[in-house]
A and B are shown apart, each in its own frame.
Chain A
C-alpha cells in the first residue's frame, strides 16, 4: 500500500461497467479504469458529459456492481467487504438527494443515523456540519423552502456527517450560481486543508480541476486517457500558448497566415476556420434566415453561404510577446481583429490535444 511516501487509499483495477439498454443495445459506460488515489489528496476526474464519471463514482460507492474489475477503499473490497468500505466513505451525489419535506436538521439526523450515529454524538455532528455549511440559522426550515445553492450545501453536508476519511463529490457545482459555486470550491479546499480529507472530485470544467486538484485523471468515453498533476499533463502539449483572433465575417487571405508563420518568431502554426451558414434543406430559396449567433447568443439575420464567426488560431511559444507583431501584420493586410484571446496551456488544451475535441462540446 505504500507508494513512496504516499499511502494509497483508493485502489481501482480494471473497473468496467456495461449497461444493457431495453432496446438491446449495449453501452460500455466505463471501459476498464486503473487508478490510485492517495491519502490526503484531491483527485479530480475531468471529462465531458457522458464520459463515465458518475458511473465510476457509483461503482466506487457500491451503488452499481462492476461488470468487471475491482476496487478497494482502505484495503476493503467494495464488492465483498462493502460495509467496511462504506464506513470510510462519504458521498455527495450529482443530483440533490434529500427529503424535501424534512428540515435540514432532520435530513442530517436521518442520514447520520444511517452511519450509526445517535444520541449526543449525532447532535454534535449535525451542529458541526450545520456550522460548516453555514446553515445554522435555517436548520429548522424544510428543504423545499431552500434556494438551489442552500440545497447543494445540505447535500454536501450529508456526505460529511460521519467524518469520513474519503469524500466523493460528483459535479457538485452543476447548475449553481457563481457565488454558491465559489463557496463549494472553497469548501473542497477547506476539507483538504483543515480536515485532511481525501477527495475524489468529478467535473467537466477544467478550471475547477486546475484549481483544486493535486492530480487529475482525464476521462473520455469510459477510459482514463491521461493522468498526472496539472503540470505534468500540460507538459504533454508542450509549452505553447494559443492565440485566438476573431475576425467575424471577413475573408482572411492565405498570405496573412503565411506572414504570421514566417515573419513572427516563435509561431509554430497559424490556421483559419469559420462556420459557413447553410440553410436547412428545403429553405435554400429563402433570401434571409434567422440564426443564433454562438458567441453572444444574440439572434441575427444571415444569408445563405455567408461566412460567420471567423477565427484565426495561432500557436506560439510565447504568445503575449508575439501579439503586437501579429496585430501589426493583420492591420497591414487590412484584416480587422475584433477580439483577441490568449490561452496559456491548460487542461482544455490537453484534452484538445489528446482527443481533437473541446471539453465543452
Chain B
C-alpha cells in the first residue's frame, strides 16, 4: 500500500518539477522578486544599491475593457502619478491610495529601480532602445485589459503579451525589467481574476443582483493592491526603529505562507484535473482503496510544498548573504526550529489544499475556492489589517494557517525560537482539514 501512495505522490512530484512554468512560478519568481527588491533597496549592505534608475520607456496602448484599464495601473507603478507632464490623462480612476499606503511611505518602489518615461509611440520607444537611450521598452498591447477579461471567462490565467524590448547593450538591466514586468502582469492578472471570480461566486451564491458596478470597483481595487504588493513593500513599523531592516526577512516571512498556500491549492487541485483527464478514474477502478489515493495526493502536495519552502529559504538566505557580504539566515540560526516550522507550515497548507480540492467540483472551481480561502486566511492571519480589530471573534484567527505560519516565521526572524504553539496549531489544522476532506471525498459515491 505504501508503494501505491508513493507512486501517486511521485507522479505529482514528477509533473510539477518537470514543468518549467510551475518551477518559475513556485521558486524562480519569488527569488527574482526578492533579489530585485533587495537590489533596489538603497540602504542594504554597502549603502547604495548596485542597480538603480534603469532608463525605461513605457508605451501604454491598452484600450481598457468594461471600465478597467490594466495598462494604466502598470504605468502608474513605473511612473509616479504626479510625474511626467507628457503623460496622457488616464481615462480611469487611478488606483485608489489606501489609507495605510497613504500614511506610510513605501519603503521601496519601482520608481527607485527605474527611471521611466511614458511615450505614445511603440516604434519610437524601440528606436530609443536601439539608440541606447533606454535599457528597455515596455509596450502594453491594446488588448491587455480585454485579454484579462477573457481569461476571466474561461477561468484561465493567461500570461499576457506585454512586449519588453530589451537593449542588447545592457542585457542585465533589460532582463531585470523583463522579470518585473512579467511578475507584475501575472500578479495583476491573478488578483483581478481571483477578485472577479470571488465576487461573481458570492453574487451567485447569495443571489445578489446588480453587483456589477460594485464588483468592477472592488476588483480594480484588489487588482491594484495585488499589483502594488510586487512593486512596493509597505514599510512595517515594528515597534520603533527599523535600522536593521532587511527586506528579505520581511518579504520572506510574510510571503512564505502565501506561496505555500498557493502551491498547496494548485497541487491538491490536480486531483480534479485527473478526474477530468480520466486518470483518477483509472486509479479508482484499480484495486486501490480511495483513502490510499487521497493519501497519495496528500503526500505529493506535502512534498512539493516542502521542497518549495526549502528552496525559497535557501534562496533567500543565499541572496541575502551575497548582498550583505556575509552569511545571513533570514529566519535565524535555530535549524531545528526552522525545520519544524517548515514542516508544520507545509502540513497546514497541504490540509487547506486538500479541503479546497474536496469542495471544488472542477479544478477551476477549486482554484477559485482556493483563492477565496487564501484571502480569508490572510485576513484572519492579519495580513491585511490588525487582527485585534476582530474583538470577540479573535478565536477565528486560530483557524488561519497564515496566522500561525507567518507569526512563527516572524518569531524566528526576530530571534525568538519559541514556536511550539505555532507548530502544534499548524499540525492540528493540517490533520483536521485533511480529515474533513477525506470524509467529503468518501461521501461521493460516484467518481
Kindly state the separation between the CA atoms of A115 and B282 in the bound complex, as whole angstroms: 11
Residue interface mask A341-354, B partner, CB < 8 A = 1: 00000000000000
Residue contact B286 to A101, C-beta cutoff 8 Å: no
Which chain A residues in 205-249 approach chain B with CB under 8 Å? none
Residue contact A113 to B7, C-beta cutoff 8 Å: yes
| Contact pick for B285, options A84, A91, A96, A118, CB 8 Å | A91
Which chain A residues in 72-114 approach chain B with CB under 8 Å? 82-84, 86-87, 89, 91, 93, 95-102, 106, 110-111, 113-114
**A169 nearest CB across to chain B (Å):** 13
Q: Please, which residues of chain B bring their CB within 8 A of the CB of A99?
A: 11, 15, 277, 279
Contacts A93-B278, A96-B278; is A62 near B285 (CB within 8 Å)? yes
Q: Cβ of A202 < 8 Å from any Cβ of B?
A: no
**B24 nearest CB across to chain A (Å):** 16
Kindly state the separation between the CA atoms of A96 and B276 in the bound complex, as whole angstroms: 11
Q: How many A-B residue pairs have CB under 8 A?
A: 69
Residue interface mask A274-292, B partner, CB < 8 A = 1: 0000000000000000000
Kindly state the separation between the CA atoms of A96 and B15 in the bound complex, as whole angstroms: 18
Which chain A residues in 142-162 approach chain B with CB under 8 Å? 158
Kindly state the separation between the CA atoms of A89 and B281 in the bound complex, as whole angstroms: 14
Residue contact A114 to B7, C-beta cutoff 8 Å: yes
Among A61, A113, A114: residue with most chain B CB under 10 A: A114
Q: Cβ of A116 < 8 Å from any Cβ of B?
A: yes
Which chain B residues in 409-447 approach chain A with CB under 8 Å? 445-447
Q: Cβ of B212 < 8 Å from any Cβ of A?
A: no
| Contact pick for A116, options B277, B287, B447, CB 8 Å | B287
Contacts A102-B14, A114-B286; is A97 near B7 (CB within 8 Å)? no
Q: Please, which residues of chain B bring their CB within 8 A of the CB of A176?
A: none
Q: Please, which residues of chain B bring their CB within 8 A of the CB of A165?
A: none
Residue contact B285 to A101, C-beta cutoff 8 Å: no
Kindly state the separation between the CA atoms of A118 and B2 in the bound complex, as whole angstroms: 12
| Contact pick for B284, options A63, A110, A115, A116, CB 8 Å | A63
Residue contact B285 to A110, C-beta cutoff 8 Å: no
Which chain B residues in 246-267 approach chain A with CB under 8 Å? none
Contacts A96-B278, A99-B11, A114-B7; is A87 near B446 (CB within 8 Å)? no
Residue contact B15 to A110, C-beta cutoff 8 Å: no
Closest to A113 in B: B7
Q: Please, which residues of chain B bring their CB within 8 A of the CB of A82?
A: 287
Q: Cβ of A27 < 8 Å from any Cβ of B?
A: no
Main secondary structure of the interface of A (DSSP, over half): loop
Residue contact A63 to B285, C-beta cutoff 8 Å: yes
| Contact pick for A93, options B4, B281, B283, B288, CB 8 Å | B281
Q: Cβ of A333 < 8 Å from any Cβ of B?
A: no
Q: Cβ of A64 < 8 Å from any Cβ of B?
A: yes
Residue contact B277 to A62, C-beta cutoff 8 Å: no
Q: Cβ of A65 < 8 Å from any Cβ of B?
A: yes
Q: Please, which residues of chain B bring their CB within 8 A of the CB of A158?
A: 282
Q: Please, which residues of chain A bring their CB within 8 A of the CB of B15?
A: 99, 101-102
| Contact pick for A110, options B7, B278, B281, CB 8 Å | B7
Contacts A83-B289, A97-B277; is A111 near B282 (CB within 8 Å)? yes
Q: Please, which residues of chain B bring their CB within 8 A of the CB of A61?
A: 285
Closest to B7 in A: A113
| Contact pick for A63, options B3, B11, B446, CB 8 Å | B446
Residue contact B446 to A65, C-beta cutoff 8 Å: yes
Q: Cβ of B392 < 8 Å from any Cβ of A?
A: no
Kindly state the separation between the CA atoms of A53 and B281 in the bound complex, as whole angstroms: 17
Kindly state the separation between the CA atoms of A87 and B283 in the bound complex, as whole angstroms: 12
Which chain B residues in 274-301 approach chain A with CB under 8 Å? 277-279, 281-289
Kindly state the separation between the CA atoms of A91 and B278 in the bound complex, as whole angstroms: 12
Closest to A61 in B: B285
Residue contact B287 to A86, C-beta cutoff 8 Å: yes
Kindly state the separation between the CA atoms of A93 and B286 in the bound complex, as whole angstroms: 13
Contacts A96-B278, A99-B279, A110-B7; is A87 near B287 (CB within 8 Å)? yes
Q: Cβ of B19 < 8 Å from any Cβ of A?
A: yes
Kindly state the separation between the CA atoms of A113 and B281 in the bound complex, as whole angstroms: 15
Q: Please, which residues of chain A bring their CB within 8 A of the CB of B286?
A: 86, 111, 114-115
Q: Please, which residues of chain A bring their CB within 8 A of the CB of B279?
A: 97-99
Q: Cβ of B18 < 8 Å from any Cβ of A?
A: yes
**B288 nearest CB across to chain A (Å):** 5
Residue contact B4 to A113, C-beta cutoff 8 Å: yes
Among B7, B286, B289, B446: residue with most chain A CB under 10 A: B286
Residue contact A102 to B11, C-beta cutoff 8 Å: yes
Q: Please, which residues of chain B bring their CB within 8 A of the CB of A87?
A: 287
**B18 nearest CB across to chain A (Å):** 7
Residue contact B277 to A63, C-beta cutoff 8 Å: no
Kindly state the separation between the CA atoms of A89 and B289 in the bound complex, as whole angstroms: 15
Q: Please, which residues of chain B bring their CB within 8 A of the CB of A96?
A: 278
Closest to B18 in A: A101
| Contact pick for B447, options A64, A86, A89, A113, CB 8 Å | A64
| Contact pick for B11, options A64, A110, A115, CB 8 Å | A110
**A204 nearest CB across to chain B (Å):** 20
Residue contact A97 to B282, C-beta cutoff 8 Å: yes
Kindly state the separation between the CA atoms of A24 and B14 in the bound complex, as whole angstroms: 42
**B290 nearest CB across to chain A (Å):** 10
Which chain A residues in 14-72 approach chain B with CB under 8 Å? 61-65
**B32 nearest CB across to chain A (Å):** 25
Kindly state the separation between the CA atoms of A240 and B11 in the bound complex, as whole angstroms: 57
Kindly state the separation between the CA atoms of A158 and B278 in the bound complex, as whole angstroms: 13
Closest to A114 in B: B286
Residue contact A114 to B288, C-beta cutoff 8 Å: yes
Closest to A142 in B: B18
Kindly state the separation between the CA atoms of A61 and B281 in the bound complex, as whole angstroms: 10
Kindly state the separation between the CA atoms of A62 and B285 in the bound complex, as whole angstroms: 6
Kindly state the separation between the CA atoms of A62 and B287 in the bound complex, as whole angstroms: 10
Q: Please, which residues of chain A bring their CB within 8 A of the CB of B287?
A: 82-84, 86-87, 114-116
Q: Please, which residues of chain B bring their CB within 8 A of the CB of A83?
A: 287, 289
Q: Please, which residues of chain A bring their CB within 8 A of the CB of B284?
A: 62-63
Kindly state the separation between the CA atoms of A116 and B19 in the bound complex, as whole angstroms: 28
Residue contact B281 to A118, C-beta cutoff 8 Å: no
Residue contact B282 to A114, C-beta cutoff 8 Å: yes
Kindly state the separation between the CA atoms of A100 and B277 in the bound complex, as whole angstroms: 9
Kindly state the separation between the CA atoms of A22 and B279 in the bound complex, as whole angstroms: 25
Closest to A63 in B: B447
Residue contact B3 to A118, C-beta cutoff 8 Å: yes
Closest to B285 in A: A61
**A96 nearest CB across to chain B (Å):** 7
Residue contact A113 to B3, C-beta cutoff 8 Å: yes
Kindly state the separation between the CA atoms of A83 and B286 in the bound complex, as whole angstroms: 8
Q: Please, which residues of chain B bring their CB within 8 A of the CB of A101?
A: 15, 18-19
Enumerate 7 A-B pairs (CB-CB under 8 Å) in ascending A order.
A83-B287, A84-B287, A86-B285, A99-B11, A99-B279, A110-B7, A114-B286
Pairs of residues from A and B, 5 with the lowest C-beta to C-beta distance, nearest first: A97-B278, A114-B286, A113-B7, A65-B445, A86-B287
Interface contacts beyond A64-B446, A82-B287: sample of 19 additional A-B pairs, CB < 8 Å, sorted by A: A63-B281, A63-B284, A63-B285, A63-B447, A83-B289, A86-B286, A86-B287, A91-B285, A97-B282, A99-B11, A99-B277, A99-B279, A101-B15, A102-B11, A102-B15, A113-B3, A113-B7, A114-B7, A115-B286
